[in-house]
Amino acid sequence: MKKVYFPQHGGALTEQNLVQDLVDEQIKLYGTDVYYIPRTMLRDKTLGEVIHSEYNQAYMIEMLFINVEGFGSPSEFISQFGVRITDEIKFVLSRRRWQQSLVPSLGLTIEQRPNEGDLIYYPLTGNAYEIKFVERELPFYQLGSLYYFEITAEIYEQGSDEFDTGIKEIDAIEAQQTFVTSLELSAPRVTATMTGSVVGGTLDNMVITAGGSGYKTAPLITISDPPDVAGGDIPATATCTVLNGAVNAFTITTSGSGYTTPPTITVAPPEVSVDFQAREYIVGGNFQNQGGDRIWAAQGDGKIYVEHAASFDPIFATTTLVKYFFWNFEDLRLKYRYTYTGETPTTTKGEFYYDAANNRYCINAYEATTTSGNRAQLFDLSTNVIGEVSGWNGGTLTLNMMNKTGDFLDGDLIRGVDSNALYTLGSFTTLDNPNSDYDQNKALETGGDEILDWGEGNPFGEYGNFTGSF
């Protein structure tokens, strides 16, 4: 019998809207608010392979949990990679609500629908679920239209992914589940010293006998008075500058008069070391802030243009063009270490060059963006080590760091980009973490050396290992 009022295909728009209204109402009545978290992929500069993912945005929207019988079974099993938990969950999401709430804001790989690989944070369980499949045609064109998505997701397994959504509960996933390196630090606070010389009763010159360490701002310089200040002698004054935590230069602002012997010059001690901020970026080794509040603009093609900041820019060597720099943008997706390659144009992701014709830097970002801003900072690094703070104990001077790139050296300076906290790294080994009760890397490798053949005749590996026991 022909369906007169509700035809199977090609229904009237009013009928389709009625069904959509009913679907939206049911989801709002019986569903719950969740966070949709789009995935941003950081790709290898050469092959374009995904290195790790970032989740920097979260959008609240209502979804209906339809897995009322509980998680699928079997969901826990032991594989060659250890215990895996693959609890499965299904959501229903209104197409119209998706279009109204999310689509305009997202730069999705596949437009107009939820994407596999994105996350859903479900407050009821306090877990994130990774989207594995999106059913887009269920039921099949009822009244000639589609009204909802059925999303199948599994519990998210954290690897090296970064979370910077600004929502505390979601961002905590990274710190709780990612690989964390513990560093034992010490506070490098050494007071600088200076001497002076007198010519014709005035302070003629000063010499920095020790630059000190641990200075975050220029210290106060105190110069002793000449013998007869009451009679008209004028005390000398001076200021100084700091580079990489040490006093590196001075300026005699007043030469004074009436000095018969060189005055005593006293430099104020470094400030008490400050605490690292939660989730701030840290760098290893010395670095110099080459200026902030730079104007930057993106063209949506993966290229970002940053204005040249004149005297605040580094003096690039002509013999060694490859240097490490850390760009800090308003757009957190662009918070990576980039490599400077000179003035020759390059299109390699993660590299940038100076566009002399337009007096700007051209940065090849890992991900395209269309945003712009006035808060881009450039940090000139002496090493290629960058990480993110996951925890800090100021009492024991223990820093927990995640998302580390590069390699530490014993005695490196560890500096917070935002807090400007400055400490010295003590003895460090990548094979043995003294702050973990479960770290047995060194013991396992030592035991492996007694089993595996590390001789030159071994066809499956190179001679030697990471412990140095060749």
Beta bridge partners of 352: 340, 363
Q: What is the Cα–Cα distance from 430 to 413, expressed in whole angstroms? A: 17
Nearest partner of 364 among 383, 349, 342, judged by Cα? 349
pLDDT band for 465, please (50, 70, 90 cuts).
very low
pLDDT band for 236, please (50, 70, 90 cuts).
very high
Q: What is the Cα–Cα distance from 32 to 60, expressed in whole angstroms? A: 10
* Residue 464 pLDDT greater than 50, yes or no: no
Q: What is the pLDDT of residues 358-411, one digit of tens each?
A: 888 888 886 667 778 887 877 777 777 888 888 888 888 888 888 777 777 777
Least confident stretch, 55-64, 382-391, 422-431: 422-431
Predicted TM-score (pTM) of this structure: 0.56
* Residue 147 pLDDT greater than 60, yes or no: yes
How high is the pLDDT of residue 201? 93
DSSP at 168: H
| Dihedral, 111, 115, 121, 122 alpha carbons, nearest 10 | 100
List the chain domain ranges: 13-178, 193-267, 281-425, 440-470
* Residue 354 pLDDT greater than 50, yes or no: yes
Count CB atoms within 10 A of the CB of residue 229: 12
Q: Which residue did the predictor score with more confidence, 101 or 312?
A: 101
Q: What is the Cα–Cα distance from 284 to 154, expressed in whole angstroms? A: 37
How high is the pLDDT of residue 117? 86
* Residue 100 pLDDT greater than 60, yes or no: yes
* Residue 446 pLDDT greater than 70, yes or no: no
